Amino acid sequence: MQHPKRAAPNILITGTPGVGKSTLCEKLSETTGLKWLEISKIAKENNCLEEYDEEYQCCVLDEDKLLDGLEEVMSCGGNIVDYHCCDLFPERWFDIVFVLRTDNTTLYDRLVGRGYSGKKLEDNIQCEIFQTILEEARASYATEIVHELSSHTPEELESNLQRICLWLQQWFNDTNNQ
Ligand code: DAT
């Protein structure tokens, strides 16, 4: 359902770390002028990270603080939200959700290239094998707005970009004709 007050839609780009969210979001933001919100970076810059979790090798997120801080910008619309999970965000924030997917070999190489190893590497590969983020997205948002995008090659990056731009154009057409 489209939000009546939004001048432009909000798009969620999610998926396991390494599937290509930032790469796609950066290009999408350049192409469309929509604002790219890198949630990990925003959380860090706004002191929304709590104590370090040794087991998972990452910081615990203060979700309430993060969401409160984003409410205003999200209600205006025109944002591309980039984050590796999706069930923390209010359903009403998004007009469409894209879950990027890669095969295990591609993801493994990308994560090793990023310096991941041990439990962190295994957990992320398993997350993709069990399509955890896709299931999370389907459980958190209306299934008709959740779409999977294959994200292995520069050609797929280009076709994903085109697909989202076409959807965006349609959103503006539909909104202007209402
Ligand atoms: P994420 O933001 O999901 O963690 P990323 O955008 O940082 O992922 O991408 C991880 C690596 O994979 C990075 O080296 C760029 C590369 N990559 C991303 N999308 C790609 C694509 N469609 N084709 C080839 N390489 C890609």
Residue 101 assigned ligand-binding role? no
What's the pLDDT score for residue 53? 73
What's the pLDDT score for residue 22? 98
- Specify if 19 maps to a domain: yes
Is the Cβ atom of 18 under 6 angstroms away from ligand 1?
Answer: yes
Q: Which residues of the chain have pLDDT under 50?
A: none
User: Could you tell me which of 56, 55, 117 has the C-alpha nearest to residue 84?
Assistant: 56
Can you give the pTM of this predicted structure?
Answer: 0.95
Ligand 1 atom at shortest distance from the alpha carbon of 16: 3
CA of 19 to the centre of ligand 1 (A): 6
What's the pLDDT score for residue 54? 74
What's the pLDDT score for residue 57? 65
What's the pLDDT score for residue 75? 95
Is the Cβ atom of 157 under 6 angstroms away from ligand 1?
Answer: yes
CA of 45 to the centre of ligand 1 (A): 23
- Specify if 79 maps to a domain: yes
Domain with 80, as residue range(s), is 11-168
- Specify if 178 maps to a domain: no
Is the Cβ atom of 104 under 6 angstroms away from ligand 1?
Answer: no
- Count of structural domains, the chain: 1
Helix (H, G, I), strand (E, B) or coil at 62: coil
- Do you know the residue count of the chain? 178
| pLDDT tens-place string over residues 39-83 | 999 999 999 998 777 776 677 899 999 999 999 999 999 999 999
What's the pLDDT score for residue 2? 54
User: Could you tell me which of 98, 120, 112, 110 has the C-alpha nearest to residue 153?
Assistant: 110
What's the pLDDT score for residue 50? 84
- Specify if 92 maps to a domain: yes
Is the Cβ atom of 6 under 6 angstroms away from ligand 1?
Answer: no
- Specify if 175 maps to a domain: no
Is the Cβ atom of 46 under 6 angstroms away from ligand 1?
Answer: no
Domain with residue 118: its CATH number is 3.40.50.300
| Cα distances (angstroms) measured from residue 10 to each of 27, 100, 104, 160, 168 | 16, 17, 29, 17, 10
